[in-house]
Chain A
Amino acid sequence: DVKVTQSSRYLVKRTGEKVFLECVQDMDHENMFWYRQDPGLGLRLIYFSYDVKMKEKGDIPEGYSVSREKKERFSLILESASTNQTSMYLCASSLGQSNTEAFFGQGTRLTVV
């Protein structure tokens, strides 16, 4: 079974802190994604990557950056956390072509105070 693991289930950070959310997949998938999920807005794509060191902006990249130094790991970085970044963050991966299944991690509930 594909496993996508996010480093934390819950995080509480202060405004202005630099925050790292880590995601690791164990199935040699090419593509990795970061989404955030908010009530009433659904899931929205922040960034994705289809290869090591490659990154592409999604629908809401402002205030975020990403890093993919190794194929299995995709990190989401909040350069200076703000309260409007309080959300559920979900990481996903897929094999490498468009017609493949996306697998999600368990989510990280981030609260910025």
Chain B
Amino acid sequence: KQEVTQIPAALSVPEGENLVLNCSFTDSAIYNLQWFRQDPGKGLTSLLLIQSSQREQTSGRLNASLDKSSGRSTLYIAASQPGDSATYLCAVSLLYSGGGADGLTFGKGTHLIIQP
């Protein structure tokens, strides 16, 4: 059974720092990996999707990398801002045996606080 682990569970840094969030998964036979952001009491906002054939994706100050063989992904946030404070979730998907898309398996998230 796929398991996803995120380290650290919580992180507090001063504004302006570059930071890295880590995600690892046990089954390397994934179809894609997705990073989400969740604000308190809200739903999930998709940040980046990395297909299994890709090594990285970038969006603005965010860069996500994927190493399937080692079962790892990182989310790099450049020049952090207080508005980046949120919980960041990593999730992987497998192909359902029936041919459709399987659900996502989530890590428990990294709670990020950016101090002004």
| Chain A residues in the interface with B (C-beta under 8 A) | 4, 30-31, 33, 35, 40-45, 48, 50-51, 54, 56, 58, 90, 92, 94, 96-107, 109
Contact = CB atoms under 8 A, between A and B. Distances in A.
Given A56-B96, A106-B43, A101 B34 contact: yes
Contacts, number: 80
Indicate the member of B89, B93, B100 with the most A CB atoms within 10 Å. Answer: B100
A99 B34 contact: no
Give the contact-size bracket for chain B: 20 to 34
Nearest to B48: A101
Contact of B101 (A31, A35, A40, A54): A31
29 contacts: A4-B43, A30-B100, A42-B109, A45-B104, A45-B105, A48-B103, A50-B96, A50-B98, A50-B99, A50-B101, A56-B96, A90-B44, A92-B104, A96-B100, A98-B31, A98-B32, A98-B93, A98-B95, A98-B96, A98-B101, A99-B31, A100-B32, A100-B101, A101-B34, A101-B49, A102-B34, A102-B93, A104-B43, A107-B41
Contact of A51 (B100, B106, B108): B100
- Top 3 nearest A-B pairs by Cβ distance? A50-B100, A45-B103, A98-B31
Contacts of A96: 100-101
B101 A94 contact: yes
Indicate the member of B41, B43, B44, B96 with the most A CB atoms within 10 Å. Answer: B43
B42 A107 contact: yes
